[in-house]
């Protein structure tokens, strides 16, 4: 008796170069060490195409909270400042009746 399995590769879509690079850069920026030091150096890999690199670096450079320094070795230093919750436009802070910020639930 033999068991035949359907190949999973037929149903799986490959990631594009931009998706792969974006995911790598996002992981680097969101890493706990990078979040503590508030900077990360992104190295361009041989597998990063010109168009993908330009697209992702362009998107990063358009982000006002990020400061990018392009180095001669094709790496990019990404720096950012610690932002308070009140300065973020993607985070809603509800205030109590006395104008005080309500404490978040512990769960």
Task: State the Cα–Cα distance between residues 69 and 38, nearest whole angstrom.
Answer: 14
Tokens of 1: 């008796």
Give the confidence band of 13 by pLDDT, cuts at 50, 70, 90: confident
Whole-structure pTM value: 0.65
Give the confidence band of 65 by pLDDT, cuts at 50, 70, 90: very high
In the sheet that holds 39-42, the strands lie side by side as 39-42, 76-80, 66-70
Residue 91 has pLDDT above 60, yes or no: no
Cα 61 vs. chain centroid, distance in angstroms?
A: 13
Q: What is the pLDDT of residue 20?
A: 94
Task: State the Cα–Cα distance between residues 82 and 38, nearest whole angstrom.
Answer: 7
Task: State the Cα–Cα distance between residues 29 and 2, nearest whole angstrom.
Answer: 47
Contact of 93 with 85, CB cutoff 8 Å: yes
Residue 5 has pLDDT above 70, yes or no: no
What mean pLDDT is predicted for residues 71-80?
Answer: 95
In the chain, where are the structural domains located? Answer: 15-82
Residue 73 has pLDDT above 60, yes or no: yes
Give the confidence band of 54 by pLDDT, cuts at 50, 70, 90: very high
Domain 15-82, CATH: 3.90.1070
């Amino acid at each position: 008796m033999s068991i035949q399995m359907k190949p999973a590769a037929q149903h799986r879509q490959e990631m594009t170069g931009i998706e792969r690079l974006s995911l790598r850069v996002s992981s680097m920026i969101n890493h706990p060490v990078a979040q503590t030091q508030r900077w990360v150096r992104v190295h361009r890999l041989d597998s990063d195409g010109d168009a993908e690199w330009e697209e992702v670096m362009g998107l990063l450079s358009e982000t006002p909270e990020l400061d990018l320094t392009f180095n001669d070795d094709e790496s990019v230093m990404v720096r950012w400042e610690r932002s308070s919750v009140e300065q973020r436009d993607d985070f809603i802070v509800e205030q109590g009746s006395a104008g005080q910020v309500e404490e978040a639930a512990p769960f």
